[in-house]
Homo-oligomer: A and B are copies of this chain.
Amino acid sequence: MELRDFFPVWNRLTSAQQAILTENLLRRTVQKNTLLHNGSMNCTGLLLVEHGQLRAYILSEDGREITLYRLLDGDICLFSASCMMRSIQFEVMIEAEKDTELWSIPADIYKNVMDQSAPLANFTNEVMAGRFSDVMWLLEQILWKRFDQRLAGFLLEESVLEGTDILKITHESIGSHLGNPREVVTRMLRYFQNEGLVKLARGTVEITNRAAMQKQYGT
């Protein structure tokens, strides 16, 4: 992938702007479980995912987590460069969920080009609106969906991301995605197993009845 593949507005940048972005591009390869960005502690810069998977999440004071959204091949991570916008008053953590090849653009470089370029500023606006939509979806799930529905939806989404019905994931980790304690996850998974939706084994959750799971999720 090249820079133009990440930025649909690439051809509307001047050659000077294209050169600044290209010259300051850093290539990084990170291993699974690497913490790439830690709230306002650092200003990592804009991350462009070439191949792999990142997870954006928030953390409570007492260490609980909830997943906000995932970033996949071709996605741009804006909040790792949140220092470039003073109105962003929240702390997002970004970690690699798989071994990931990515590029980064330093926040001040990107901000300088965005300050001059209406196409890049408007594109960045669309990227932020997309993440905002992800968070609004999450808020609505938490407010209006029951936990059984959210868990079913999560397992179905994981199964699509991993391309398999046998998910290698712990109950603890599911809890960190959904913002619930492990015990609550275990109890609901056992209920799902009794209903014939999943089969549980050490370290795995297998979806055994996808149609019933989709019905459970309410779609």
Which A residues are closer than 8 A to B by beta carbons? Answer: 58, 60-62, 64, 66, 85-90, 114-118, 121-122, 124-133, 135-140, 142-144, 179
Contacts and interface: CB of A to CB of B under 8 A. Distances in A.
Nearest to A134: B89
Contacts of A130: 87, 89
A140 B66 CA distance: 10
A143 B66 contact: yes
B126 A125 contact: no
Contacts of A128: 125, 128-129, 132
A60 B139 contact: no
Nearest to A121: B121
B140 A138 contact: no
- 7 smallest CB-CB distances across A and B, nearest first, come from A121-B121, A87-B129, A90-B136, A89-B133, A87-B130, A60-B144, A118-B118
Contacts of A58: 136, 139-140, 143
Contacts of A90: 132-133, 136-137, 140
